[in-house]
Amino acid sequence: MKPSSSNPGTIDFFFCGKSEDTKIHQGLIDRLSNLDDQFFPTPWNSQKWNEVLKHKSGSYLIGVCHDVERVYGFALFGTSNPDSAHLYKILVDPELKRQGLGRTLLLDAMSLLKEKKHKSVFLEVEQSNFEALGFYRNLGYKVLVGKKDFYGPMRDAFAMEAIL
Ligand SMILES: CC(C)(COP(=O)(O)OP(=O)(O)OC[C@H]1O[C@@H](n2cnc3c(N)ncnc32)[C@H](O)[C@@H]1OP(=O)(O)O)[C@@H](O)C(=O)NCCC(=O)NCCS
């Protein structure tokens, strides 16, 4: 059956990295890396995904919508700064866009981060990514500042923030 907003798999959240015992299955890491590689504007390679989710060099929260075969969407935050969590990546499979999955991933993660006493979420987004800008604005994120050439020459970013 084609996945839909009423049946897109389950959403799990994992706190991982330094001082967390969470073990994320290699198959899940590979599926995250594949989806990122196919559809994220600035993908990481699989080595970086393994570093982040398996090694103990930082602290992270990841929310994943998945079933046994597929990952449908994810949101990944750096949580090393106790005040402000950093949203590194949020992605929804293009087949499932505009059905509320991104909103659920982001708002549920923000509730968990608030429970962990983070006060805000911070992110960068490319100024030409109107889809993501509309999404973040809809969910209460405000532009803090522009960052020239943040993603490379002529690829400016906005830094945005939401207070939890
Ligand atoms: C940004 C992204 C995660 C949004 O996920 P999504 O599941 O499609 O978003 P939702 O359906 O939950 O949308 C929630 C709200 O965001 C806004 N929004 C979402 N997509 C939008 C678009 N293309 N244009 C304008 N507003 C948009 C809308 O207000 C929407 O509410 P509505 O549908 O009731 O009007 C998704 O578009 C994506 O994966 N983009 C590619 C990866 C990316 O660029 N990530 C961000 C990098 S910084």
Q: For 10-67, what is each residue's pLDDT tens digit?
A: 999 999 877 677 788 899 999 999 999 999 999 999 999 998 888 767 899 999 999 9
Whole-number Å distance between alpha carbons of 122 and 134: 16
Let me know if residue 53 belongs to a domain: yes
Let me know if residue 29 belongs to a domain: yes
Let me know if residue 146 belongs to a domain: no
Domains held by the chain: number: 1
Let me know if residue 71 belongs to a domain: yes
Per-residue pLDDT of 74-97, as tens digits, reads 999 999 999 999 999 999 999 999
Dist. CA 96 → ligand 1 center (Å): 10
Closest residue (by CA) to atom 24 of ligand 1?
Answer: 131
Q: What share of the chain is helix, strand, coil (3-state, %, to 5)?
A: 30, 30, 35
Instruction: Give the pLDDT confidence score for residue 22 in this predicted structure.
Output: 78
Let me know if residue 68 belongs to a domain: yes
Per-residue pLDDT of 114-156, as tens digits, reads 999 999 999 999 999 999 999 999 999 999 999 999 999 999 9
Dist. CA 153 → ligand 1 center (Å): 25
Instruction: Give the pLDDT confidence score for residue 4 in this predicted structure.
Output: 57
Q: Ligand 1: residues whose CB is within 6 Å?
A: 40-41, 90-92, 97-103, 125, 129, 131-132, 134-135, 138
DSSP track, 46-97: HHHHHHHHHSSSSEEEEEEEE-SS-EEEEEEEE--SSSEEEEEEEEE-GGGT
Contacts of 117 (CB under 8 A, 6+ apart): 82
Let me know if residue 137 belongs to a domain: no
Entry pTM: 0.94
Structural domain of 54 = 10-117
DSSP state of 42: S
Instruction: Give the pLDDT confidence score for residue 2 in this predicted structure.
Output: 43
Q: Would you say how long the chain is, in residues? A: 164
Let me know if residue 132 belongs to a domain: no
Domain CATH code at residue 112: 3.40.630.30
